[in-house]
Amino acid sequence: MRPAALILLLLPAILSASEAAELTSVRNKGIDYVALDEGAARLGLRLERSIPPSTVMLKNGAQPVARLADRSRETDILGLRVFFGDPVIERGGRFYVSRTDFTLRLVPRLRPERCGTPPRPPRVIAIDPGHGGLDNGTENPKLGTVEKTYTLDVSLRLKQLLEQAGYTVVMTRQSDATVEKQFRSEIANQAGADLMVSVHFNSLYPNTRTTGVELMLFPPKSQRSADSWSPGKKDDHQDTGEPINAFDAWNTVLAGSLHRRLLDAMRDGDRGEKFEHLGALRGLRCPGVLVEPAFLSSDAEGARLATPAYRDQIAAAILAGIQDYAGILRRLSPAQVQPAPSGPPAQASAPAPVPAARSQPTRPAGP
C-alpha cells in the first residue's frame, strides 16, 4: 500500500481519537479511561445521574440519548442495545469509559461528523452468505433446517433488491459451496467493495425459546470479544490491528443503521451489538458487519424463517439499513457526493443525538 493511501486510511481514527485526547483520564487494569462528564460536554451533551445511582444518562437537552451503568459493558444508545469492549467504571464519584469505547462506540453514534474523513458513499456492496458446502452452520433438528440454506436464500433476495436500487453487488458465494473465512474478505477487497454484510442466523440450541436480533463487529485493537467475558474464558484481545480496524468508527455507524432497521422489522427482541474476532471480517479493507436477524434454534423464529415472506422482510431491512448508512455518508461528505443509487429511499433519518424515529423498512418488489 502506498504511504499516502495508508495515511488517508488511518486519518479517520486519528481525528476521532482527538475527541478524547485532552479528557481527564485514569488507568484501570491497564486500560486507559476518560471522564464521561467531560466527554459528554465535548459532544455537546450533559451527564445526569439516574436511578439506580450506579446508572447515568447522557442527554441532549431534556432528551436521553444514552444510558450507562457502573461495572457493565451493556449500554443503551439511541434506543439500541450496545455492548462496549470494556466495562464502565465509577471512581471518586465520577463515571469513566475506556478511551477506545468513547472514541469508537459513543462518538460515531452520537456525533459521526467528528469521526474524520468518511468512506465514500457505497456503490459496491459485498454480501457474505454465512457457511456453505461442507459447513452447514447451525441446525434446527425439529424443523429439519440448516443455516447455510437460509443465509444464501436471504443473501440472494438482498442481492436482487440492491441491484434494483442501482448498487453493484459481489457475493462471496452464490451456491452451496465451501468458502474459507479468510477468502471471503479477499473476494470483497478484490471487487473494491465499499462495505460488506455477512448474513448469519443465531442458535442457542437446545434452548428453543430465545429470539431476537444480534450483530457482530470485529473488536478494536486491545479489546476483547464478547465471548471472552464469559466465566472461565480467557482474555483474547489482540495487541496488533487488522485491516478491518482501520474502519472501526464506520463499522459502528454501519452497525447502528442495520441494527435499527432489523429491530424495527423483526420486532422480536434486541440481543445487541457485540464484538467477536470473526475470520470473515478480519481482512476487510472496508467497513463490515455480521448480522444475525433471527434464531434458527427458536421454534417460533425458525418456523417464520421457513416462509419466503419473512426472508423478504429480512432482506428489505438490510437494504434499508445500507441506504440509511449511505445517507449518513452523503450528509457528511457534501463535497464528495456521488450520484445516489436510484432505488427507493430509506424511510428513517440518519443517527443524530436524539433517538431516531422507528419506521418500517423498504419492502422488496418481489422474491
Peptide bond into 341 cis (omega under 30): no
Q: In Å, what is the CA distance from 72 to each residue of 89, 97, 291, 348?
A: 8, 10, 23, 30
CA-to-CA distance for 293 and 125, rounded, in angstroms?
A: 19
Instruction: State residue 156's pLDDT score.
Output: 98
Cell of 129: 452468505
Instruction: State residue 334's pLDDT score.
Output: 66
Residue 223 in contact with residue 85, Cβ under 8 Å? Answer: yes
CA-to-CA distance for 234 and 200, rounded, in angstroms?
A: 25
Instruction: State residue 340's pLDDT score.
Output: 45
pLDDT single digits (tens) 60-86: 999 999 999 999 999 999 999 999 999
Instruction: State residue 194's pLDDT score.
Output: 98
Query: All domains of the chain, ordered by start, with CATH?
Result: 10-114 (3.30.457.10), 124-336 (3.40.630.40)
Q: Which residues have CB under 8 Å from 116's CB, separation 6+?
A: 11, 12, 13, 14, 15, 16, 249
Cell of 98: 475506556
Partnered with residue 170 across adjacent β-strands are 126
For residue 328, give the 3-state DSSP assignment: helix
Residue 340 in contact with residue 121, Cβ under 8 Å? Answer: yes
Residue 47 in contact with residue 37, Cβ under 8 Å? Answer: yes
Record the pTM. 0.87
Q: 213-217 and 270-275 as β-strands: parallel, antiparallel, unpaired?
A: parallel
Write out residues in the chain with pLDDT < 50, as ranges: 1-9, 11-15, 336-367
pLDDT single digits (tens) 263-303: 999 998 999 999 999 999 999 999 999 999 999 999 999 99
CA-to-CA distance for 281 and 113, rounded, in angstroms?
A: 24
Instruction: State residue 18's pLDDT score.
Output: 58
